[in-house]
Amino acid sequence: MSYYKHHIFFCLNQREGGRPCCANRGADEIFEHCKQAVKAAGLGSPGAVRVNRAGCLDRCEEGPVCVVYPQGVWYTYVDQHDIDEIVERHLKAGEVVERLLLPDTPPAP
């Protein structure tokens, strides 16, 4: 058994030179919203859910992105409603939100 049932990491990376990055797509605001949504749902404690910042998760071109462990489920999102759905369906009910999934395999070079 792990310390947290779910651990969600948000890429908040800022890239130089105009390269795509999660930070330029509102990731910090969404991260803060997720923390509040988890707390409001009563999930923010040991044994439940931990919401963390991450540096580059190396998927910025597909982003913004977050990943839920221990399952290793990668999501993209557009707005707070997408995060609310991830909190309610995945973090609370254990159901993967298919419409927000990123592919399991890297894109071809």
- Transcribe 25-68 into DSSP letters: GTHHHHHHHHHHHHHHTT--STTSEEEEEES--S-GGG-SEEEE
Mean pLDDT of 51-67: 91
pLDDT single digits (tens) 42-51: 999 888 999 9
What domains can you pick out in the chain, each with its CATH number?
6-100 (3.40.30.10)
Total Cβ atoms within 10 A of residue 14: 14
Instruction: Please report, as a single letter, which amino acid is at residue 104.
Output: D
DSSP 90: I
* Of residues 37 and 19, more confidently modeled: 37
- Length of the chain, please? 109
Torsions phi, psi of 4, nearest 5? Answer: -115, 145
Residue 82: is its pLDDT beyond 80? yes
Amino acid at 7: H
